[in-house]
Structure 1
Amino acid sequence: MPVEEFKNKLKEQGYKLTPQRRHIIDVMLNNKEHHLSIDEIYREVKNTCPEIGIATIYRTVQLFEDVGILSKQYFDDGCHRYEISDGERTHNHHHLICNSCGSVIEIQDEYFDALEQHIEKEKKFKITNHNVTFFGLCEKCINKSGDN
């Protein structure tokens, strides 16, 4: 999602893209492959915007989550992590977490379509969202440890 789309999303909700918000968006775009904690976002933003405070980071990340720019994840590591939201998908929270190195691998929704349909039909339950996280060892760590 380009910065102009973020700007439009904010504008639609009555907000402006301030310089501080722009710095946070830039950090998130530069780290699209990572899931950053508030502290990691703060450290990265401080490199280009040294005057920013941690409270601004918290408020801005919450705002970005509220308007759909960021998605919050919890990987059982003691903190929430954030990633750029994918506006095209309604369920974008599927991850494989390596217990050894901490790497995060994203997996696609189509794995869960049949299960979701089954649950809705059998349990008469309308699913509006879901979050799936698997914990284990990535290929690199399996090869390194010799566990198969």
Structure 2
Amino acid sequence: MAPTQADLRLLLRQKGFRITPQREKILDIFFDLPEGDHLSAEDLQNRLKSDSSDISLATSYRTLKLLASLDVLRELDFGEDQKFYELVRDESDFEHQHILCIDCGATKEFTSEELFCMAQNIAERLKFELIDTQLKLVGHCKLLKQTGFCESQKRQQGAKH
């Protein structure tokens, strides 16, 4: 079952962390994201600014790192020296993977029982306890190739301006 915001507030308190207005606001933003969406620290900062929030970029980074260390957020490294974060809605969130378009920046999530079983088998063979899998597939999205444009390209260009 997916944790509620109240569950996550309780977790923070149990781990000795205060529920500051900044942490509350950042949690709200992640809970409001459609499932499967990811945010970088810069994306988060843009959303905070559009809400007239005065949370600094440094506070955003610290909060993202804290929430990731508590497994509230999952930190994703898609390359290009930028990390993305997604809300961990349940344990199966650690079993999905991502495919990225290197042209427009589109990111799609997928699950594969075969890949997950293979990862578990490799971990067992090498005497590891598997706690997470992160497989990044990279390619060219067909929509951009066929039409010369896709919605992800539009969002990415808007974020740069």
Q: Distance in 2 between matches of 1:100 and 1:61?
A: 27
Say whether the 8 Å CA contact 2:75–2:84 is kept in structure 1: yes
Say whether the 8 Å CA contact 1:23–1:49 is kept in structure 2: no
Say whether the 8 Å CA contact 1:23–1:48 is kept in structure 2: no
- Within the candidate set 54, 60, 65, 2:57 is matched to 54
Structure 2 residues not aligned, in runs of 5+:
149-161
Q: Distance in 1 between matches of 2:58 and 2:106?
A: 28
Listed one character per residue, the Cα deviations across residues 70-90 of structure 1 (whole Å, up to 9, x for unaligned) are 111111233111111233227
- Within the candidate set 104, 125, 128, 2:127 is matched to 125
Matched with 2:13 is 11
Q: Distance in 1 between matches of 2:64 and 2:121?
A: 35
Root-mean-square deviation over aligned CA pairs: 2.2
Q: Distance in 2 between matches of 1:144 and 1:90?
A: 32
Q: Distance in 2 between matches of 1:51 and 1:124?
A: 48
- Within the candidate set 97, 100, 105, 2:100 is matched to 97
Q: C-alpha displacement at 1:54, in angstroms?
A: 1.5
Residues 12 and 75 from structure 1, CA distance in 2 versus in 1: closer, same or farther, beyond 3 angstroms? same
- Within the candidate set 138, 143, 146, 2:141 is matched to 138
Matched with 2:114 is 111
- Specify the code of the residue in structure 1 equivalent to 2:56: G
Matched with 2:155 is none
Residues 91 and 127 from structure 1, CA distance in 2 versus in 1: closer, same or farther, beyond 3 angstroms? farther
- Specify the code of the residue in structure 2 equivalent to 1:31: L
Q: Distance in 1 between matches of 2:112 and 2:10?
A: 27
User: What's the TM-score, normalizing by structure 1?
Assistant: 0.82
Q: C-alpha displacement at 1:39, in angstroms?
A: 1.2
- Specify the code of the residue in structure 2 equivalent to 1:39: E
Matched with 2:158 is none
Residues 124 and 78 from structure 1, CA distance in 2 versus in 1: closer, same or farther, beyond 3 angstroms? closer
SS in 1 for 2:80: coil
Structure 1 residues not aligned, in runs of 5+:
none
Residues 4 and 109 from structure 1, CA distance in 2 versus in 1: closer, same or farther, beyond 3 angstroms? farther
Say whether the 8 Å CA contact 2:72–2:87 is kept in structure 1: yes
